[in-house]
Amino acid sequence: MPVIVKLPSGNWRAQVRRKGKYISNTFRRRADADTWALETERTIDKGIDPKAVNPRTITTFSEIIDLHIQDMLEVGKKIRRSKSAVLESLKLTLGWYRLHEITRSLLIDYGKKLDLPGKVEGLSAV
């Protein structure tokens, strides 16, 4: 059970102690502290070190892809050839974009560029 305390500054500190692990973080809103604490508890329950990955340090789409690959390997899922090729293509073409720059229209434009003539009806390149 997380401990969430209001600080004199008005911010909220969330502390999680679970299975011998301890981690804390400070937030401006109580709802953010509650969400973070719940996610952190779930991470610890899965046997993952909650300090191993800090989503705030991830800034580009390429880093998200790397994190996805790492997660798949940690759970023992093999990355097959086609998925590996698609992820590599995404990293080469969209990987340099910052996360806040990726929009629905950017992804639609990317998909349209992959819409090659002569493809089999009903199948897409991605």
Check residue 52 and give its pLDDT.
67
Residue 125 has pLDDT above 80, yes or no: no
* 8 Å CB contact between 13 and 33: yes
- How does pLDDT run across 30-80, given as a tens digit for each residue? 998 999 899 888 888 888 777 765 666 678 889 888 888 887 887 788 889
Instruction: Give the residue ranges of DSSP H helices in 17-100.
Output: 30-45, 61-74, 81-94
Residue 122 has pLDDT above 60, yes or no: no
Report the mean per-residue pLDDT for the chain.
Answer: 83
Residue 112 has pLDDT above 70, yes or no: yes
What is the token pair recorded at 10? Answer: 């008005």
Domain boundaries, the chain: 3-52, 57-114
Give the C-alpha distances (Å, rounded to integers) separating 16 from 44, 80, 102. Answer: 10, 37, 33
